[in-house]
Amino acid sequence: KSDLSHFHVVLDQTRIRNNCIMTSKYNIITFLPVNLFEQFQEVANTYFLFLLILQLIPQISSLSWFTTIVPLVLVLSITAVKDATDDYFRHKSDNQVNNRQSQVLINGILQKEKWMNVRVGDIIKLENNQFVAADLLLLSSSEPHGLCYIETAELDGETNMKVRQSLSVTSELGDPNHLAQFDGEVVCEPPNNKLDRFCGTLYWRECKYGLSNQNMLLRGCVLRNTESCYGLVIFAGPDTKLMQNSGRTKFKRTSIDRLMNTLVLWIFGFLVCMGVILAIGNAVWEREVGFLFQSYLPWDPPVDNFLFSAFLSFWSYVIILNTVVPISLYVSVEVIRLCHSYFINWDRRMFCNRSSTPAEARSTTLNEELGQVEYIFSDKTGTLTQNIMTFNKCSINGRAYGERHRAQPLDFSTWNPLADRDFCFYDASLLEAVKVGEPAVHEFFRVLSLCHTVMSEEKSEGELVYKAQSPDEGALVTAARNFGFVFRSRTPSTITTQELGKAVTYTLLAILDFNNIRKRMSVIVRTPEGRIRLYCKGADTVLFERLHSCSHDVMNITSDHLNEYAGDGLRTLALAYRDLSEEQWAEWAERYRGADKAIDCREDRLAAAYEEIEQDLMLLGATAIEDKLQEGVAETIAILSLANIKIWVLTGDKQETAVNIGYSCKMLTDDTTEVFIVNGHTVQSVREDLRLVARERMMESARTRDGGKEVETQWAPPTSVLESISGEFALVISGHSLAHALEADMEQEFLETACACRAVICCRVTPLQKAMVVELVKRHKNAVTLAIGDGANDVSMIKTAHIGVGISGQEGIQAVLASDYSFSQFRFLQRLLLVHGRWSYLRMCRFLCYFFYKNFAFTMVHFWFGFFCGFSAQTVYDQYFITLYNIVYTSLPVLAMGIFDQDVPEQRSLEYPKLYEPGQLNLLFNKREFFICIAQGIYTSVVLFFIPYGVLSQATQSNGVPLADYQTFAVTTATALVIVVSVQISLDTGYWTAINHFFVWGSVGAYFTILFTMHSSVLFNIFPKQFHFLGSSQNTLAQPVVWLTIALATVICIAPVLAFRFLKLDLKPQLSDTVRYTQLVQQKKWKPGGRAALGRLGRGGSRRSGYAFAHQEGFGELITSGKNMRLSSLALATFASRHSASWIDTLRKKKHNPHSTPPTGDSSPAPSLVLISETNTF
Amino acid sequence: MKSEGEFVNQPDNTAFTQQRLPAWQPMLSAGIVIPLFTLIGLAFIGIGVALFITSQNIKVQELDYTGTATSSPCFQCSGLSIQNCTCERNFSLSELFEGPVFFYYGLSNYYQNYRQYGVSKDDYQLSGDTTYFLKPQSYCSPYQYSNNKPIVPCGSIANSMFNDTFRLYLLVNGSRKQVPFDGKGIAWWTDYNIKYRNPSPVNGSFAAAFDGTTKPVNWQKSAYELDPTDQANNGFLNQDFLVWMRRAALPNFRKLYGRITGGDYSQGLPAGNYTLQISYNYPVLSFGGTKKVVFSNVSWMGGKNQFLGIAYLVIGSLCVVMAIVMLIVYAKYKFPDNDDA
């Protein structure tokens, strides 16, 4: 090991961590105690333990202990098995990560080592496209100047590449031998979760070097465009920023869970009330009757007065009435959820063929909440989009080219050996135009091949690889390449292209770099012929203002084209050029040098200078790039919004790109009344923006309300004016405004405004802000939120939301690991919610309703019997019946219903998204429904007690033996109960599969089988003490009167329910899903794709710029400085070194922006220009 | 299993995993519900009528002999201190009481269903396990030991065994002619044959098996001498004991005492005047209970049971009414029948 290097963390952290991560909870030894401890933290389990203890007290014990311990042990073991399985998979995934290979420098030799064996202080070697194994201090790199490029998508979701640079002292330690000698000492801050901050000092050779985030490679990053690099492990394993950020997953509970817990508490209260009533009854009875009855039944020794007897009676009743909160409830709920999760895993329609990834329900406890989602928070890149840009269309000199009809893609390779094979274009006329030699077309592609900051790499002749800083720029340069204007290489002062097979070298005079304010970039080049020309590309809105008057005709036509592109959601850029005379250039260059050297207001002065030269441009045309959406995104969003789900896009991307995606995925359409953009930097401006939005909307809504009253929400009366707003509004808010909007005094305002909008797009948000937005909605809206994302930057949001969904099948797995559900395509979300979620919710609700019903029906019989047995806590049923009722006789049919039930076929739920609404409004199981179930249960118990009471008290067998003995009564009531609840489940089951049949009939069959077995002489002979009910069933069930009683009780219990349901279906059919949506079909036929057509028609006069560009500023400087070029030329190297200080400073300034805004720099526009005087170059 | 077009990891395409199991999806359509209600209603009315008529034909004669009222013949016996008191109740039948006639005794306000009462017995004793004769289980407390001798059969149930006895006389020409009660076979077959077992006789003597034990406190005779007339009807297999041990579900109950089936009375009790001689031993006034005897005959559905017939009639009628209401509602608010399924 590289034992010479020392690691030191300020604050007394002396332990040397290895890189092993552990997310599992148990090992073999700790499993049992820890798991049991955890399980008994559940109130329910502790409660049953308490009951068990109560049952061991003979004076109280109204039931044998086994009635509780059997279900308790069953429940505990099922849960334990589930926990063990979960933990096993965690162990497995840990192992997989821990056993990844990395190369560690040991004794000057590179050796393969597992990730988990990497220790702090090790020096490891990374190769291109490898994941960084731990948080590393970059020591040296294969690239010049110790530069290396990383992609931090895993960490913060930003897909553009970032530059990291080693300290110049260490970057000289090129080869392993030197590195092995490295004996620096690093003192740094303790492990923390701040991704954009690192602060430390390297002590080496008596010198101190400051370390910043600029020198760090964090675990989870991927090395890009860098052959290899060496890094010193600073933080490993759980100390890494990635792991520090992941934290322990909070246990998520569904709203049904919470409701269930509340209800269970209420039931406890109810239980206590019943106990008190019966205890009072007992006191009265003992005083009035029991006291006198002592000649036959003396009080038990500890009882000396009626009050004490009542006290004992209370506890006895607590024991026998405990079945109103059956222990099997929790385990049944878990089983149902587990099965639903498997259905999600098994769903072939959520299987992605391309990545061969099935959907996965990683959390098995949230399924029914999928049926209640109201807000979806989606990441953009990688989730909505594929992060692939394609050059789709263009307009050149007023003529539109692009895919008219998707035929065969053009074959470029035949005439252009340098063409990129992956590039697809469908319009042959453009290629013709190039071949014919139309000057505008040539100039158009020349702009694309020259005006950019792409780096090229030519590994072998003709094999060009472009390293584009933003994918859209890459797409443009690639397009130019395929149309014969191949960008081949650049030096800080030249650009070499191959124009239609002919090599041309342009002298690069200046790059007028891109930034968000300028929304354009230009290059000034000297052509080989000696002319000086400025090429510019940028937002149409910006460029059109700067055109020469003679371009206006072209501009009008191009504008129409741009309009069309914008409507299709394409990202557009306008292209223009300007010829400069030698004098103009010289004069301008002079002024620029001045601006560049200015000490104060350098940026403003530079911007002014740029402005000056970018005038009188000649418009060439426009490009339209498609930010490829994931498959079916627009349709999914359309369906989800029809299901009344609000979709918010939270992205780290820029405003334009985000809005653009909003349009292309039809979140924003031209139907959208207005898009409000909140982009203020100060509290006041944000507040003003929000207020203005709100006010406008209020006026708008007032207007619509005067117009027609049809906009009326049926379910919830609007709590504020804003909620009743009908217009289609959209809100776009940027990260820095969001920071203000999320402050305590403004968040309410923000939330109201945002919730009144149909679409909300938050751009340039940090991972933390994503979580805060989700948290805000979660806290104030009392709605179920779902967050979906693919990158590590979405982790916090995924964890915060009620339901987190990760996009799997891509490189990063952080989001997936943090998620509750994962699948590989955004479009599967509709199926997850509308089909699986809806069903889960429906099933769970039906299950719970029935479950509470059946237990109340079962238990309350004891209560009524109490009035006839001196409140002595005598059970009505045999204790075996009590033990088995919940776990054998009635569990499986309701479980089958909870697992398999379907009210409408799956395609219907997708066809009629409105079917999703009951879940959002929480209509199927709420406190009201609960009371209805309880009432039905109590009614049933009344019937089940008083009908046998009425009949049997008088009845005799046909041989004259009275039927009113206790055992006959018990068997009759129990049988009636089993039959009634079985008939009820048959009514509740809407989808009778073979399994349902088997379980329903099987349960009834099992009841009779077990009944007869337990009442048989065989069992009695073996256990004479245990089976008192010998012969009861044979005796009882042979009596026609008993069957008549059971039939009577069944009809009395079921007929009202049946009648009620029928009448409800008939009178209020809108509550029945199927019927409601049949009506809906008649009103409005929903057809997929219909919306898109509509959107285009309604576009009308509104003009919208489709401009969007993922580019960042700063790269122009990087290029002209030559820093990022692998150059052997000494001259260039010297040139570069002269400039190095300045650009690194600029870069550092930006990265060290103290605010938490993403380091991509935005708050203070810093236009940068690097002026290259020709004398400088050679 | 996987065919060529399949991918790795692709879930199986089965009806089960894809939730496409063939299923019957019933709907509560008018075509089912209304006829169902009509059918149930009519069936219930039919059964109700049958039950009601059957029940009407069953005769029941009840005689209260608690002796609360001073005019009651058993009044003098109802005092607490009186022992071996006998009283008589006269009654007359105007017509033949068709047989077979069952004779019951009934108690009210008597809580055989009290929990502690119910468990106060020793099942091992009752199944003839003599080891528990000397060491009764604690459930029996406080009727576990008496004078330091174990009680057999122990416990409250046995101790409180009903011990009034009855003789029925038919007055024929001024003389009394005893109507015999057949007390055999009045207990459950399983109780008599399986559940309860007498201890095996020791040295040929049944009584010797009970050596070292004592009779329950309230009993006048030991378990082995309950029925002096029939040796087999003693111990735990005594029919009256078995009947008593099968505790009642409700505080007002009756228990079978005997059948009147013998000889002249196989057709039933002929019209005439009867005297019921009661040996009044069992005090009930202390806890406000009453005692009665019941003569009853039975039909296929057992004894008289007005409740069942009336309940059937009422529910049947309600179902029919409901069916009509539903029909009206259906006709008025008929929604487009949408059986998507």
Residue B14 within a domain: no
Mean pLDDT for A294-304 is 77
- Flag if B326 and A343 touch (Cβ within 8 Å): no
Q: Across the interface, do A965 and B24 touch by the CB < 8 Å criterion?
A: no
B265 within domain boundaries: yes
Contact A1136, A1123 (CB under 8 A): yes
CB contact (8 A) between residue A316 and residue B247: no
Average the pLDDT over each of A685-689, A858-862, A931-935 and give the range with the smallest value: A685-689
Binding site per annotation, positions of A for Mg(2+): 379, 381, 790, 794
Contact A1045, A976 (CB under 8 A): yes
Cβ–Cβ contact A994 with B under 8 A: yes
Contacting residues of A for B334, CB less than 8 Å apart:
1066
- Token match 């230009």: residue? A522
Using a CB-CB cut-off of 8 Å, the residues of chain B touching A296 are: 110, 117, 156, 159-160, 287
Q: Identify all chain A residues contacting B37, using CB atoms and an 8 Å cutoff.
A: 1055, 1058-1059
DSSP string, A845-880: HHHHHHHHHHHHHHHHHHHHHHTTTTT----SS-HH
pLDDT in tens, A710-724: 333 333 333 444 444
Q: Does B56 touch chain A (CB under 8 A)?
A: no
Residue B11 lies in a domain: no
Please give the biggest Cα pair distance in chain A. Answer: 128
B198 shares its domain with B80: yes
The SS3 assignment for A362 reads coil
Which tens digits make up the pLDDT trace of A1075-1130? 444 644 444 444 443 333 333 333 334 456 777 776 666 667 667 766 665 443 33
Average pLDDT over residues A898-915: 84
User: Which residue spans within chain B are E strands per DSSP?
Assistant: 60-64, 85-93, 97-98, 101-108, 145-146, 149-150, 165-172, 175-179, 253-260, 268-269, 272-280, 290-297
Do B191 and B326 reside in the same domain of the chain?
A: no
Residue B65 located in a structural domain: yes
Residues 273 to 312 of A: which have CB under 8 A from any B CB?
A: 289-290, 292-293, 295-298, 300-301
Chain A interface, best mutation among B28, B117, B219, by max A CB count within 10 A? B28
Percent share of chain A, pLDDT over 90: 20
Answer yes or no: is B162 within a domain: yes
What residues make up the domain containing B157? 60-298
Report the residue from B156, B302, B336 with minimal CB separation from A958. Answer: B302
State the pLDDT confidence band at A142, using cuts at 50, 70 and 90: confident
Residue A739's closest CA among A430, A1154, A352, A436? A1154
Contact A1033, A1011 (CB under 8 A): yes
Nearest to B40 by CA among A1037, A988, A1047, A990: A1047
Find the residue in B nearest to A991 (Cα): B25
Mutation target for A interface from B293, B307, B321, B324: give the one with most A CBs within 10 A. Answer: B307
To which H or E segment does residue A447 belong? helix A439-450
Handedness of CA A716, A722, A724, A726 (dihedral sign): negative
Tokens of A399: 């003529």
Do residues B199 and B209 touch, judged by C-beta distance below 8 A? yes
Read off the pLDDT band of A1175 (50, 70, 90): very low
A1044 and chain B: CB distance < 8 Å anywhere?
Answer: yes
Q: Is A9 on the interface with B (CB under 8 A)?
A: no
Specify whether the backbone of A501 is left (phi greater than 0), alpha (psi in -120 to 50) or beta.
left
Q: Is B264 a member of any domain?
A: yes
Are residues B185 and B124 located together in one domain of the fold?
yes
Q: How much is the pTM?
A: 0.82
Of the candidates A346, A969, A1075, the beta carbon closest to that of B335 is on: A1075
Q: Is residue B85 part of a domain?
A: yes
Q: Is A346–B11 a contact, with Cβ atoms under 8 angstroms apart? A: yes
Q: Flag whether pLDDT at A177 surpasses 90.
A: no
CA–CA dist A414, A105 (Å, integer): 48
Residue of A nearest to B112 (CA): A869
Using only C-alpha atoms, chain B has a radius of gyration, in whole angstroms, of 30
CA dist A482 and A501 (Å) reads 11
* B30 contacts on A by Cβ (under 8 Å): 1062, 1066
Residue A976: predicted pLDDT: 96
Where does the pLDDT of residue A841 fall: very low under 50, low under 70, confident under 90, or very high at 90 and above?
very high
Could you tell me if B305 lies within 8 Å of chain A, comparing CB atoms? yes
Question: Mean pLDDT, to the nearest integer, of A680-705?
Answer: 71
Residue range A63-114, pLDDT digits in tens: 888 878 887 888 888 888 888 888 888 888 888 888 888 888 887 788 888 8
Of A958, A1021, A1034, the CB nearest to B298: A958
Pair of tokens at residue A866: 């109490």
Please determine, for residue A999, whether its predicted confidence score (pLDDT) is greater than 90: yes
Of B255, B286, B338, the CB nearest to A1078: B338
Do residues B182 and B318 both lie within one domain? no
Q: Which residue of A has its CA nearest to B11?
A: A346
Contact between B305 and A955 using a beta-carbon 8 Å cutoff: yes
B22 at the A interface (CB within 8 A)?
yes
The chain B residue lying nearest A290, using CA atoms, is B287
CB A942 within 8 A of CB A862: no
Q: Assign A1059 a pLDDT band (cuts: 50, 70, 90).
A: very high
Tell me, what's the pLDDT at A1174?
35
What DSSP assignment string belongs to A726-748? -S-EEEEEEHHHHHHHTSTTTHH
Task: Tell me the binding residues of A for ATP.
Answer: 379-381, 473, 514, 537, 571, 651-653, 764, 770, 793-794
Do the beta carbons of residue A113 and residue A236 sit within 8 Å? no
- Helix ranges (DSSP H) in A1084-1121: 1090-1097, 1115-1121
B319 interfacial to chain A (CB closer than 8 Å): yes
Side-chain-side CA neighbours of A263 within 13 Å: the count stands at: 25
Q: How confident is the model at residue A1164 (pLDDT cuts 50, 70, 90)?
A: very low
Within this chain, do residues B252 and B176 fall inside the same structural domain, yes or no? yes
Put simply, whether B37 touches A (Cβ < 8 Å) is: yes
The answer to whether position B69 is within a domain reads yes
Tell me how far apart the alpha carbons of residues A497 and A692 are, in angstroms, rounded to a whole number: 51
Which residues of B, range 203-222, sit inside 8 Å of A by Cβ? none
Q: Which residues of A are catalytic?
A: 379
Give the span between the Cα atoms of A626 and A567, in whole angstroms: 12
Q: Which residues of B touch A298 (CB under 8 A)?
A: 142, 156
As a whole number, mean pLDDT of residues A499-509 equals: 88
Q: CA A1044, A1046, A1050 angle in degrees (round to 5)?
A: 115
Domain count within chain B: 2
Question: What would the two tokens of residue A454 be?
Answer: 């792409």
Q: Which chain A positions have a beta carbon within 8 Å of B326's beta carbon?
A: 1059, 1062-1063, 1066
For testing contact with chain B, the best of A350, A965, A1001 (most B CBs within 10 A) = A965
Question: B265: distance to nearest CA of chain A, Å?
Answer: 16
Q: Do the beta carbons of residue A314 and residue A279 sit within 8 Å?
A: yes
C-alpha B138/C-alpha B140 separation (Å) is 5
Do B170 and B226 fall within a single domain? yes
User: What does DSSP say about strands A185-188 and A6-9: parallel, antiparallel, or unpaired?
Assistant: parallel
Chain A neighbors of B12, CB-CB under 8 A: 346
Quick check: B80 contacting A, CB < 8 Å? Answer: no
The answer on pLDDT for A1155 being more than 80 is no
Nearest C-alpha of chain B: how many angstroms from A1075? 7
DSSP annotation string for B143-187: SSEETTEEBSS-SHHHHT----EEEEEEEETTEEEEEPPB-TT-S
Cβ neighbours around A429 below 10 Å, total? 12
- Report residue A698's pLDDT band, with 50, 70 and 90 as the boundaries: low
pLDDT at A232: 87
CA nearest neighbour of A646 among A738, A723, A572, A594: A723
Q: Which of the four pLDDT bands, split at 50, 70 and 90, describes residue A753?
A: confident
A219 neighbors A133 (Cβ within 8 angstroms): yes
Within this chain, do residues B120 and B224 fall inside the same structural domain, yes or no?
yes
Give me the average pLDDT of each 10-residue run along chain B (341 residues). 60 88 80 92 95 91 87 80 83 88 92 89 87 87 87 90 91 88 88 89 86 88 88 89 92 92 84 91 87 90 88 96 92 58 32
Q: What is the ipTM of this complex?
A: 0.94
Residues from chain A that touch B8, judged by Cβ atoms under 8 A, are 356
pLDDT reported for residue B334 = 65
Q: How many CB atoms lie within 10 A of CB B334?
A: 10
Q: What share of chain A is helix, strand, coil (3-state, %, to 5)?
A: 50, 20, 30
C-alpha distance from A1074 to closest chain B C-alpha (Å): 8
Contact B338 A869 (CB under 8 A): no
Residue in chain B closest to A1025 (alpha carbons) equals B123
Whole-number pLDDT of residue A727? 60
Report yes or no: B306 at the A interface, CB cutoff 8 Å: yes
Span A42-55, pLDDT tens digits: 777 888 888 888 88
Same domain, B136 and B180: yes
pLDDT at A8 over 60: no
Contact assignment for A961 to B195 by CB distance below 8 Å: no
Query: What integer pLDDT is reported at residue A46 of this predicted model?
Result: 84
Which is it for strands B253-260 and B101-108: parallel, antiparallel or unpaired? Answer: antiparallel
Tokens of B153: 């059969």
Rg of chain A over all Cα atoms, to the nearest angstrom: 37
Residue type, A851: F
- Interhelix angle for A439-450 vs A471-482, to 10°? 140
Digit-coded pLDDT (tens) for A244-268? 766 555 677 788 888 888 888 899 8
Together in a domain, B236 and B324: no
Nearest to A1066 among B10, B51, B333 (CB): B333
**Candidates B21, B44, B319; nearest CB to A993:** B21
Token pair 């149309």: residue: A483
Chain B residue whose CA is closest to A1046: B308
Residue in chain A lying closest to B120 (CA): A297
Strand order in the sheet with A207-212: A6-9, A185-188, A199-204, A207-212
Residues B245 and B327 in one domain: no
The residue in chain B having the minimum alpha-carbon distance to the alpha carbon of residue A1079 is B336
Supply the mean pLDDT for chain A.
Answer: 80
A994: CB partners within 8 A, 6+ apart: B21, B22
Residues B247 and B219 in one domain: yes
pLDDT band at A405 (very low <50, low <70, confident <90, very high): low
The verdict on B47 and B68 lying in the same domain is no
